[in-house]
Copies of this chain bind each other. A is one copy, B any other.
Amino acid sequence: MHIGMIGLGRMGANMARRLARGGAEVLAWSRSAGARRALAREPRVATVADLASMVEKLKTPRVLWLMLPAGKPTADTLARLAPLLAKGDVVVNGANAYYKDSMRQAAELAGHGLYLVDAGVSGGIWGLANGYAVMLGGDAKAVKRITPFVKLLAPPKGWLHCGPSGAGHYVKMIHNGIEYGLMQAYAEGFALLAGKREFSLDLAAVAELWRHGSVVRSWLLDLMADNLKRDAALEGIAPVVADSGEGRWTAIEAVELGVPAPVISLALAMRFASQGKGDYGARQLAQLRNSFGGHAVTGSGHPAPAGRVRGGRVARKKKQS
């Protein structure tokens, strides 16, 4: 039971801990020395200074588990690993990634006789204690090889070999798309509770009540109930919601399949709006109302985003000649 864990962020570090606490021997590497140090005292976890040492210390057929940011960091690491590994080794990409990238990368690694299993992993910072839901895509033999590790990471019944290469990250992508919609629905509902001033509703008490016997009970509601008990006004939290790719990929998939997913797509658009990316459109609306009806326009303290809209026309990059 030896495994290499590459990438020791919030997810990777806790997954290394959970694997080690379950009995696996974990070799861990992150480019951050601090992240490596944070794991140094964990029983059955040894950190290594670089990828080459990790590969050298693992017995074949090796299992390496990647938890790196999607895109270039993952692609670069796979490119560096490929020549170091031996035929039959299995690399698992357990980070969020676009399933089409994973399919392409799996085909590339297959050219070297290597397996890439795409693993969607859900559970957030609670996964260390509760286990992570794990969604796997890839070759059956490779999935069999990593199953003992998956069983340590997941709660009982909390993992599935979903299908061929790409299927794990596809299922995880849709999982996150659903999450966007669920979160937005709760957020809107609580905004409507908060907005009804005349009833002076105790939002924390409502959330707690709904946890018991209501149709909307869920793990997300459990988290909201906890948050509301600590701080129902949320005035210290900026109304800006990041998006990390999975929602965008889900919306693109809906377009590519021609399957309507309006609520998920709109939940994504609401996040864009929260990031201020609807502001230019809103300025246009305010200006237009002024143009046709003479309605007042509020002067803004927020300057228009520099370099993006300029001189009365949308700035375009000049072609280098």
A196 CB within 8 Å of chain B: yes
Describe A's contact surface by its main secondary structure. Answer: helix
Given contacts A162-B206, A192-B254, contact A178 B174 (CB under 8 A): no
Taking the nearest CB of chain B, how far is it from the CB of A221, in angstroms? Answer: 8
Residue-wise, chain A 169-198 has the 8 Å CB interface mask toward B (1 for contact) of 011001111111110111011011101100
Question: Which among B166, B182, B196, B200 is the interface contact of A182 at CB below 8 angstroms?
Answer: B182
Residues of B within 8 A of A185 (CB): 177-178, 180-182, 184-185, 263-264, 267
Given contacts A175-B215, A177-B192, 20 further A-B contacts (CB under 8 A): A133-B214, A159-B209, A160-B205, A162-B206, A167-B201, A174-B189, A174-B192, A177-B185, A179-B215, A181-B182, A184-B263, A185-B263, A188-B262, A189-B264, A191-B259, A192-B250, A196-B257, A215-B220, A263-B270, A266-B266
Q: Which of A56-64, A119-127, A310-318 contacts B (4 or more CB under 8 A)?
A: A119-127
Query: In the complex, A110→B122 CA distance in Å?
Result: 53
B270 touches A262 (CB 8 A): yes
A218 CB within 8 Å of chain B: yes
Residue of B whose beta carbon sits closest to that of A186: B178
Question: Which among B167, B178, B267 is the interface contact of A216 at CB below 8 angstroms?
Answer: B178
A155 CB within 8 Å of chain B: yes
B127 touches A160 (CB 8 A): no
Given contacts A174-B193, A185-B181, A267-B185, contact A212 B157 (CB under 8 A): yes
A123 touches B199 (CB 8 A): no
A132 CB within 8 Å of chain B: yes
A7 CB within 8 Å of chain B: no
Residues of B within 8 A of A170 (CB): 196, 199, 201
Query: In the complex, A214→B118 CA distance in Å?
Result: 17
Considering only CB atoms and an 8 Å cut-off, how many residues of chain A contact the other chain? Answer: 76
A101 CB within 8 Å of chain B: no
A219 CB within 8 Å of chain B: yes
Query: In the complex, A218→B216 CA distance in Å?
Result: 8
A34 CB within 8 Å of chain B: no
Residue of B whose beta carbon sits closest to that of A254: B192
A171 touches B188 (CB 8 A): no
B213 touches A263 (CB 8 A): no
Query: In the complex, A176→B210 CA distance in Å?
Result: 11
Query: In the complex, A216→B175 CA distance in Å?
Result: 7
Residue of A156, A174, A195, A267 with most chain B CB atoms under a 10 A cut-off: A174
Residues of B within 8 A of A133 (CB): 209-210, 212-214
In residues 124-181 of chain A, which contact B (Cβ within 8 Å)? Answer: 124, 127, 130-133, 135, 137, 154-160, 162-164, 166-167, 170-171, 174-181
Residues of B within 8 A of A192 (CB): 174, 177, 250, 253-254, 257, 259, 261
